[in-house]
Structure 1
């Protein structure tokens, strides 16, 4: 089976390739759910066929808060202003976290809450390839006074492959940050181990102190919020018998986050036990690895998850 279904949540809206709220994809390799808001993939389920029995198993590679998604859908139905969706892979741009000089500006920038244009859809032997774009307009100018074009290419096949292009289409240079704020599913956070960051410097955002990752693997027994710099870009999340691999190119920062118990209780878009079920391993260029893009120039970044 191979199909793309475009859905409009508000009954007054007719869904099409140019105008939709949620897109569902299915092909021989995977199933995926994507929103036009933020060009955000919420769900990616890889189909794994047993060579011996022909039975197809499904491996879920992304986690999404059901409560946050329902809040988003309810807002769409009632024409209220929608919030960011907690889950899948939101794109943070043009800054990560709170704005450094103006706390009134939206956390993690504006890209994850804007409506992107779906500029192309293609199907090949590798699966479905989608291209989304976001360009400066009157809304983004309220937050960031630069001319830019973002191009997000998304391949949903045997692997999930994202390629982000950041282009400066203006006549002045700009600095920016970006992060793929990826949420990965877990059986239990206490048994999780992350490889790929040994020996790397990190800022502990809970203490504002800088350390070096001494142990080969990261493990969790409390709230964790770290920004790693000058990383290699290849990671493995071990969760019992399951492993998720992440491979990146040109992403020099990584953020590792889990809210644990008390922080989860303060969040309004997750259930009380959600801290046990996900970890964020975010591939990025932030803080000392922020980007400087000259007028008329562009840069490109990629991430593969499998």
Structure 2
């Protein structure tokens, strides 16, 4: 479907339009008086969200990010599904699953009574997905753009056997200086330290999470509300989660960032990832004809 046809079906006058974006990819632009947002159907990915009161965007997107078919876009909120992390079976399939590099279909748009804007995108299984993951499914992402941003990732088991998966909303939050940032809400939680030398170490968090080296941690038994304190941008980012008891906190720091071709060397200073996930011991099993919804709501507050 071309851009003109997409706008005829899904455009909302003076609020939502479908455009051709970077790399020739189709994008959804929203400006509704409460906020602006940019959504990429490639990957089903929110790339930008800025409420009207905010001085800066909520999200970081690398200037060197790949905007092309078959590549993940570095920034915004990539969708990790149906596995989080490396291929769990070691078959050479894409890290973090295939959803973040897949073309999603625009299914619905609407303007809500409260002034927010609703967008629904989806993927249904076909011979291409089943070659990577041999299950029948419908995957939806529902996005609500208002004074806050809400994202719900909904998996529907369309087959006759249980689905087992891990997944995540891999949010890259824009910050003034990662070295000055503090992540609150995880004190007392145990985490698996994926950046530790040798075997993964299990450690209990004491106080806020801070960044002065590479951080790559899977926290378990986490509360439903976390926050990021950013004194440089003078704001606090609130994160409310639904049906997630694990969280990943990540920043690549100097050496790992240098090894990533889709990051500038200094980019590690400008984002931290606090990811709403089901991973590690939190493997989700969905019975036939049932749904599972992983959700996050983000807000920006003055510090």
Q: Which residue is 1:278 aligned to?
A: 271
Q: 1:206 to 1:10 in 2, by over 3 A?
A: closer
* Counterpart selection for 2:165 from 176, 195, 203: 176
Q: Which residue is 2:38 aligned to?
A: 33
The secondary structure found in structure 1 opposite 2:64 is helix
Q: Which residue is 1:113 aligned to?
A: 101
Gaps of 5+ in 2: 1-12
- Kindly state the Cα deviation for residue 2 of structure 1 after the two structures are TM-superposed: 3.7
Q: Which residue is 1:191 aligned to?
A: 180
How far, CA to CA, are the matches of 2:236 and 2:104 in structure 1? 32
CA contact (8 A) 1:205 1:225 kept: yes
CA contact (8 A) 1:229 1:253 kept: yes
Deviations 1:210-263 (A, max 9, x none): 1111x2211111000000112112111001021100001111110000000000
Aligned: 1:237 with 2:246 = no
Aligned: 1:304 with 2:297 = yes
- Kindly state the Cα deviation for residue 10 of structure 1 after the two structures are TM-superposed: 9.2
Structure 1 residues 111-260: aligned runs within 5 Å: 111-124=99-112, 125-207=114-196, 208-213=200-205, 215-240=206-231, 241-260=234-253
The secondary structure found in structure 1 opposite 2:60 is coil
Q: Which residue is 2:85 aligned to?
A: 97
CA contact (8 A) 2:32 2:115 kept: no
CA contact (8 A) 2:143 2:150 kept: yes
* Counterpart selection for 1:43 from 22, 33, 48: 48
Gaps of 5+ in 1: 14-19, 49-56, 76-80
How far, CA to CA, are the matches of 2:62 and 2:235 in structure 1? 21
Deviations 1:150-188 (A, max 9, x none): 111100011001122111110011210110000001111
The secondary structure found in structure 2 opposite 1:139 is helix
CA contact (8 A) 1:224 1:258 kept: yes
Give the aligned length.
281
The secondary structure found in structure 1 opposite 2:144 is strand
Q: Which residue is 1:62 aligned to?
A: 59
How far, CA to CA, are the matches of 1:194 and 1:65 in structure 2? 22
Q: 1:126 to 1:204 in 2, by over 3 A?
A: same
The secondary structure found in structure 2 opposite 1:268 is coil
CA contact (8 A) 1:249 1:301 kept: yes
The secondary structure found in structure 1 opposite 2:52 is strand
- Kindly state the Cα deviation for residue 201 of structure 1 after the two structures are TM-superposed: 1.1
The secondary structure found in structure 1 opposite 2:72 is coil
The secondary structure found in structure 2 opposite 1:203 is strand
- TM-score under structure 2 length normalisation: 0.89
How far, CA to CA, are the matches of 2:229 and 2:290 in structure 1? 38
- TM-score under structure 1 length normalisation: 0.88
CA contact (8 A) 2:192 2:218 kept: yes
Q: 1:63 to 1:33 in 2, by over 3 A?
A: same
- Kindly state the Cα deviation for residue 122 of structure 1 after the two structures are TM-superposed: 0.2
How far, CA to CA, are the matches of 1:271 and 1:103 in structure 2? 30
Flag as ranges the 4+ runs of structure 1 deviating above 6 A. Answer: none
